[in-house]
Structure 1
Amino acid sequence: MAHVRDLWTKPNPDKTSRKKRVCSARWGVGRRWQVIWDENGKRTTATFQTEDAANDYKARVEVGQTDGTWITKDKAAVTFGDLWDPWIESKPDIAQSTRAGYVAAWAHLEPVWGDTCIAKFNAAVFPTWVAGLKTRRPHQKTEPTPLGSGAKRKVGIVVNAFLDMAVKNKIIRENPLGKGDIVRQEPADKRALRIGEVDALLAAAPTEQARLLAEVMPRTGIRPGKPKGSRSKTSTTTVAGL
């Protein structure tokens, strides 16, 4: 069980005195009250300015350890930066474009949130921060422009995945982000090619394979990855030569 220790005083060595405690060498230096408890067989401490604060923390430690919700001190120190490598390395089979999107999202997150402890993540501030994100292109000569909704959503997805990973590893008890905290991707402004434009595209194709690709996509409207030969759950058919 946890207990509170007064760092500014010590037991009076004079057993004949009525005064039970006397000033220690630390009298007036630093925080006075220390909470001491065991975590995984090791002594762990936290210090506080007031006795009330120390006793309140002691109670939280004891209740948390009893009901299994206590976050150990080592896990409470885990940052977003600590989770990036394990998280991205856990996705070896994702498409290169998806990985690139995650890396771009992390480029926005790392400078601001990389050193932030997961346990201290402020979910109330995050949506406002994401809303103000702007482009981060290397050697960009023009003024940064607001980030698109798709890129902002990717940032939210990465943070949400980190928080889910933290819950799984008992770094935090629950994910503080709600569904409404992640930006929704706005529909893209699309325009169908005119017949003449499709004909020009086919005429400019450098190879038969490229011509086939240019013909399949406008006729079917499928995503670019499909005719290139990527597999799906419902079909393993590929377009030969692409």
Structure 2
Amino acid sequence: MASIETYYLKSGAERYRVHYRTPDGKPKEKSSFKTKRDANAFKARVTVSKLDATYIDPAKGKVTVGELGKRWAKVKESQMKPSGWRSYESAWRVHVEPEWGKTPIAKIERLAVEEWIADLGEDLGAKSVQRCHSVLYSILKMAVENRMLTVNPAAGIPLPSPEETDPVFLTHSQLEMFITEADAGTRTRKDAAAIVAVLGYCGLRWGELAALTPDHVDGNRLHVLKNAAQAGTKMVLGSTKGGKRRVVPLPHRVQTLLAPIVNSTTSKHILFPDRNGDYSKSPGRDSWFSAAVTRCQAKDPTFPDLTPHKLRHTAISLAIRTKASIKVVQKIAGHKSATMTLDRYGHLMSDELDEVADALDAAAGKVLGVDPEVWKSYGNPTNVENLYNAHKSTTDTENEISA
């Protein structure tokens, strides 16, 4: 049974102390209640929580976010790929730990978290804010699951939504111009043209390209089996995004650029190493890649800003324009589902609707012995109303004459 004890401070002020036992029988006490009513309320909460198995030892709530965060980081890092963990580690180190590291988990209030999210939004993009929240939420979720907190104060916090941006696509002619310019730079790589061609026609992510070996090239097919990801200052080999292997088409156009490299590389060695023979890092803003983009933009004002990853969008868009099925495009992209592919690239398929309509017209015309061009004279669907009105007008006139 819990009990309440009255005691006095040196100033003579009256205070109350609650004596109770934890569910495993250990004696505990909580002091400094100014009124007996507050002491009784705490006593009642302890009693009820023990009965319904929701009791949380107040001492566990004194653990700081920094202390628990280190344990969370150890677990999280072991569960994620280096490329994915890098952004979460940065969010923890740069934003979460400096703000919350010294705060006991039991002292975190929902309002304080909301204010922190609002402050982050003034300097960071929506995705970065979401990642910072995810780190704090995950740490506090760990606390709840380990009976250190009853509720997660970071749960259900409204977060900013990232603005949707249309993927950047190159036309065929722009892609070929880029291949030429990449090969022509004064400080470019000797294999730059082949790199751009593989990215722009085959849809690989940079890490997948960096991990390629001659064994992955199989005639008209390219086997995407591994991914080289940056972990700190190093590149490490791991599985592809989602852990699934895939096979993508390898056009002869790309084969002509790739063949000399494959033929001069031994079986297990990577095709596109850096100067030290290690996995290549994605080229940044001041690189052979960005220089080639600048030269292309000087020749073509419509040439977009480009990164290696955006060339992947080009490859997928070109595949769509060949009338490849959505399942084939999904396999090339390496998406988990066709729904994901449609959500991202479905608008590129809208042009096919006209072709479907034309094909149906042709089939119907063949059955009826009618030239579909006759139907096309009615124009777009808005003229269907005009056709209806004209028919109605003619009918009304005939009725008047017959009357």
**Could you state the TM-score of these two structures normalised by the residue count of structure 1?**
0.75
Unaligned 5+ segments in structure 1 are 9-25, 135-144
Residue 198 of structure 2: aligned partner: 216
Give 3-state SS (helix, strand or coil) of 1:37's partner: strand
CA contact (8 A) 1:5 1:34 kept: yes
CA contact (8 A) 1:202 1:214 kept: no
In 2: Cα distance, 1:79 partner to 1:88 partner: 14
Structure whose residues are more often helix by fraction: 2
Number of equivalent positions: 214
- Displacement of 1:97 in angstroms is 3.6
Deviations 1:100-119 (A, max 9, x none): 32232122122221122223
In 2: Cα distance, 1:45 partner to 1:111 partner: 33
Give 3-state SS (helix, strand or coil) of 1:225's partner: helix
Kindly indicate whether residue 40 of structure 2 is the aligned counterpart of residue 55 of structure 1. yes
Q: Which amino acid aligns with 2:37?
A: D
- Displacement of 1:30 in angstroms is 6.0
Unaligned 5+ segments in structure 2 are 212-226, 228-238, 249-268, 273-403
In 1: Cα distance, 2:82 partner to 2:13 partner: 52
Selected match of 2:30 from 43, 46, 52 = 46
Residue 96 of structure 1: aligned partner: 82
Superposed structure 1 runs of 4+ greater than 6 Å apart = 236-239
CA contact (8 A) 1:7 1:27 kept: no
Kindly indicate whether residue 117 of structure 2 is the aligned counterpart of residue 130 of structure 1. yes
Give 3-state SS (helix, strand or coil) of 2:111's partner: coil
Q: Give RMSD over aligned pairs.
A: 2.9
Alignment of 1:48-87 (within 5 A): 48-87=33-72
In 1: Cα distance, 2:150 partner to 2:101 partner: 20
Q: 1:52 to 1:172 in 2, by over 3 A?
A: same
Residue 283 of structure 2: aligned partner: none
Give 3-state SS (helix, strand or coil) of 2:17's partner: strand
In 1: Cα distance, 2:71 partner to 2:181 partner: 47
Residue 164 of structure 1: aligned partner: 141
Residue 21 of structure 1: aligned partner: none
- Displacement of 1:71 in angstroms is 0.9
- Displacement of 1:3 in angstroms is 1.0
CA contact (8 A) 1:2 1:58 kept: yes
In 2: Cα distance, 1:67 partner to 1:125 partner: 30
**Could you state the TM-score of these two structures normalised by the residue count of structure 2?**
0.47
Q: 1:67 to 1:93 in 2, by over 3 A?
A: closer
Deviations 1:159-213 (A, max 9, x none): 12112211211112333444553443334575335332343124444143x5433
CA contact (8 A) 1:77 1:119 kept: yes
Q: What's the % identity of the aligned pairs?
A: 28
Selected match of 2:16 from 5, 29, 33 = 33
Q: Which amino acid aligns with 1:53?
A: D
In 2: Cα distance, 1:241 partner to 1:192 partner: 26
My pick for the range that moved more, 108-117 or 61-70, is: 108-117
Residue 201 of structure 1: aligned partner: 182
Give 3-state SS (helix, strand or coil) of 1:132's partner: helix
